[in-house]
Chain A
Amino acid sequence: GQQVMQIPQYQHVQEGEDFTTYCNSSTTLSNIQWYKQRPGGHPVFLIQLVKSGEVKKQKRLTFQFGEAKKNSSLHITATQTTDVGTYFCAGRSNYQLIWGAGTKLIIKP
Chain B
Amino acid sequence: GAVVSQHPSRVICKSGTSVKIECRSLDFQATTMFWYRQFPKQSLMLMATSNEGSKATYEQGVEKDKFLINHASLTLSTLTVTSAHPEDSSFYICSATGTGGFEQYFGPGTRLTVT
Q: Could you tell me which residues of chain B, from 13 to 31, have a CB within 8 Å of some CB in chain A?
A: none
Cβ-defined contact, B43 with A48, below 8 A:
no
Contact of A42 among B41, B42, B108 (CB under 8 A): B108
Q: Which residues on the B side are within 8 Å of A88 (C-beta)?
A: 43-44
Contact of A100 among B43, B45, B93 (CB under 8 A): B43
Cβ-defined contact, B43 with A99, below 8 A:
yes
Closest to B93 in A: A42
Q: Does B106 contact A (CB under 8 A)?
A: yes
Q: Which residues on the A side are within 8 Å of B43 (C-beta)?
A: 88, 99-102
Q: Which residues on the A side are within 8 Å of B103 (C-beta)?
A: 33, 45, 48
Number of A-B residue pairs at CB separation under 8 A? 37
Q: Does A84 contact B (CB under 8 A)?
A: no
Q: Does B105 contact A (CB under 8 A)?
A: yes
Interface of B is mostly: loop
How many B residues touch A, CB cutoff 8 Å? 17
Cβ-defined contact, A42 with B107, below 8 A:
yes
Q: Which residues on the B side are within 8 Å of A97 (C-beta)?
A: 46, 104
B23 to chain A, nearest CB (A): 12
Cβ-defined contact, B102 with A33, below 8 A:
yes
Residue positions of A touching B, CB distance < 8 A: 1, 31, 33, 35, 41-45, 48, 88, 97, 99-102, 104
Residue positions of B touching A, CB distance < 8 A: 41-46, 60, 93, 95, 102-109
A sample of 14 more A-B contacts (CB under 8 A), given A31-B102, A43-B44, A43-B104, is A1-B60, A33-B104, A42-B93, A42-B106, A42-B108, A42-B109, A44-B106, A45-B103, A48-B102, A48-B103, A97-B46, A99-B43, A99-B45, A101-B42
